[in-house]
Amino acid sequence: KIEHLKHFVSRRAFDIEGLGEKQLQAFLDEGWITAPADIFRLPKDEARLAALRERDGYGETSVTNLVAGIEARRTISLDRFLIALGIRDIGETTATHLARAFDSFAELERAVLAASQQAPSPAYVEVSELHGMGPRALSDFLDAARRLGEDPWPDAPMGAKIDKALAGVLASPARRALTDRFETWDAFVAAAKHAASGAPGEDFLALSAIDGVGPVAAQSIAAFFGEDHNRRLVEALVAELDAITPLAKPKTDTVVAGK
């Protein structure tokens, strides 16, 4: 929790002055701040602020500055908001691309919640990341996977079986990658069929197709918003903020646009 809170208040995220690791740890130990939304509840809690003024190292000026630092961040840009959530694979660059693709947090949230219901299965992700498995090859492989059945060449080595089954479907690098990954025909067929049945839906594909995002980041943000705990954390935080402002989109009508 302390690492999450430290990231949340860091310079590229909410950038809240007066909340360093020492202060966060003390507030966490007290039970005052256990989640990001609690930071914005603290200025409203007169009893805790009064108790804070009595502590060594604090005083009226310190408490006033802390409250001011928190209140100044009730409006935050969408990219900073996304960075602050600490979602795996969503760094500064990806957060910026996501923020520019949507006109509001509500619009982004709707998109990722829809994508979370259509995310690819682990088997699909594993196959898609194999060497030589580009978008066209993956599509052709999934079509072929639906027709696979019992082993028609029980005495042949695994590499020969995959070559026979997929010679007209996949190039040799992808076939070799499948041979290296699967030791038996049954394991290969099971994984192939799971991958075919676990293909992502249109909403997930639209999210992953955003320039600078891709399937890995799309999977991470969809998984984050797909968890009830994370949605409650975000909802509580949004309720304490005044605004999450959209990020200005790059101009496309200048003589140097796209250069």
Q: Model confidence at 251, in pLDDT bands (50, 70, 90)?
A: low
CA pair distance 47, 251, nearest whole angstrom: 49
Q: Model confidence at 254, in pLDDT bands (50, 70, 90)?
A: confident
- Least confident residue range of 5-14, 120-129, 152-161, 222-231: 120-129
CA pair distance 39, 81, nearest whole angstrom: 14
What pLDDT score was predicted for residue 141?
95
- What residue type is 150 in one-letter code? E
What pLDDT score was predicted for residue 58?
81
Instruction: Average the pLDDT over 84-105 and give the result.
Output: 95
Instruction: Return the structure tokens found at 188.
Output: 């290969």
CA pair distance 121, 197, nearest whole angstrom: 8
**pLDDT, tens digit, for every residue of 141-160?**
999 999 999 999 999 999 99
Q: Model confidence at 179, in pLDDT bands (50, 70, 90)?
A: very high
How many Å is the Cα radius of gyration of the chain? 25
Kindly state the greatest CA–CA separation across the chain.
Answer: 83
Closest by Cα among 45, 13, 12, 14 to 30: 45
Closest by Cα among 190, 186, 142, 135 to 166: 142
What pLDDT score was predicted for residue 118?
93
What pLDDT score was predicted for residue 252?
66
The DSSP secondary-structure symbol of 251 reads P
Q: Which string of DSSP letters, residue by residue, matches 137-184?
A: HHHHHHHHHTT--S-S-TTS-HHHHHHHHHTTTS-HHHHHHHHHH-SS
CA pair distance 30, 209, nearest whole angstrom: 44
Is 91 within 8 Å of 217 (Cβ atoms)? no
**CA–CA distance from 252 to each of 50, 238, 248 (Å)?**
53, 31, 12
What pLDDT score was predicted for residue 125?
87
What pLDDT score was predicted for residue 250?
67
**pLDDT, tens digit, for every residue of 34-77?**
999 999 999 999 999 999 988 877 888 889 999 999 999 999 99
Closest by Cα among 200, 232, 39 to 125: 200
What pLDDT score was predicted for residue 216?
86
